[in-house]
Structure 1
Amino acid sequence: MASTEVTHTELTALEKALCEALDPLATALRARSSGLPEDRMWAADPVEVSLSVLESWKVVDSAVARLTAQAARTAGSYGASYEQLGAAWGITRQGARKKWPDAVSRPAAVEEPARVELFGGTAELFQEQPSGRWLWTGRAADGTSGTADEALHCGTKEEAAAYAGAFLKDHRGDPAG
């Protein structure tokens, strides 16, 4: 990753732009709290004026926190890890996980495929990715091949095994067996 160090000139320009962007919000908040007309609203006790500016920065701080969390979730949705998010923010992986707990989705553990042998036939069970649903494909004793219906959504390996078992039973070849 390229260096993201901010130069003094860039930081000065950013701070100037932020102060200019903050001015309308600070003006609106100060006008509401003081009840003074716009041309006089800054003519007050310096403590009150400074507190109005501080109030405005709090609004900006909350907006930045929301936008930061959104950026972290976006990066996570594209595959960024907590380690990468932490590096970008200058904190540890654990710090990033604590700061943005929902930014990175953990993939569900992929279970190993399984095999079902019933009624003289076999079926392979496997977990589809990324959906996580279970599917099966099999060959019955009578030679018929089958697969899980595309519309079927088996949430567990056991559920897929039940459908595969029903298929193998229906195509066992020997109706007496």
Structure 2
Amino acid sequence: MQTPETSEVKPEPERVELAKALLDALDPLAASVHARATGLPPDRMWAADPVDVSLSVLGAWKVVDEEVKRLTAIAARTAGAYGASYERLGAAWGITRQGARKKWPDAVVGKREASTLDLFGGRAELSWEGTPGGWCWKGRGADGTRSEAGEAERSFATKEEAAAHAGAFLKEHAGER
């Protein structure tokens, strides 16, 4: 945020707290990286050569960066599974729709194809209904029990979640065991 008196950007309180938390978490990671690289005990890191210490800190930031990228990709795929478009992913990340598609190419489910689940002698059909929740299933257990496709509790945000519930239904209605 800029003030009229200065062109300096002042961080928001949340960013200050985040930076503090990251630095607190980074210190033991950097000490561990330094100990591995030099063979010195972690508690001696700050007494070492400043170049070595700085490189250990840089190496620790690389580990953090890789983990943030991994968690970011998971968040993007989760949002896509719940129906977010590349346009919305891009807006959340501050990039264009095309940038989001390039950054997370498999985050948004393009075509929502129906499928069949055969388990425990029964069968369930998974389909995209486009309703709140989106994924539905209907099935018939091996014991002849049928599910009703239109029931609200049969609508799920992801195909995997619908499959898990359908699988539980089929297991419950497996018939003779």
- TM-score for both structures, normalised by structure 1: 0.57
Is the aligned partner of 1:38 residue 2:42? yes
Contact 2:31–2:43 (8 Å) recurs in 1: no
- Highest Rg: 1 or 2? 1
Name the Cα RMSD after superposition. 2.5
Equivalent pair of 1:83/1:96 in contact (CA under 8 Å) = yes
1-structure distance, mates of 2:43, 2:32: 12
Task: Rate the CA distance shift 1:22–1:39 in 2: closer, same or farther, 3 A.
Answer: closer
Question: Does 2:128 align with 1:130?
Answer: yes
Identity among equivalent positions (%) equals 68
Give the aligned length: 110
- Gap change, CA 1:34 and 1:42, over 3 Å in 2: farther
C-alpha contact 1:35 1:41 (8 A) present in aligned 2 = no
Among candidates 90, 93, 96, match of residue 92 of structure 1: 96
User: How far 1:77 sits from its partner (Å)?
Assistant: 0.2
- Indicate whether 1:10 and 2:8 are aligned: no
- Higher helix fraction (1 or 2): 2
Q: Deviations over 1:36-60 (max 9, x none)?
A: 1233232222111101000000000
Pick aligned residue for 1:77 from 81, 85, 89:
81
Matched, 1:103 2:107: yes
Q: In 2, distance between residues paired with 1:102 and 1:77?
A: 10
Residue matched to 2:54 = 50
Gaps (5+ residues) in structure 2? 1-9, 114-125, 130-177
Q: Secondary structure at the match of 2:44?
A: coil
The aligned residue for residue 67 of structure 1 is 71
Structure 1's 108 and 37: CA in aligned 2 closer, same or farther, altered over 3 A? closer
Aligned pairs for 1:149-164 within 5 A: none
Q: Secondary structure at the match of 2:18?
A: helix
Moved over 2 A (4+): 37-42, 128-131
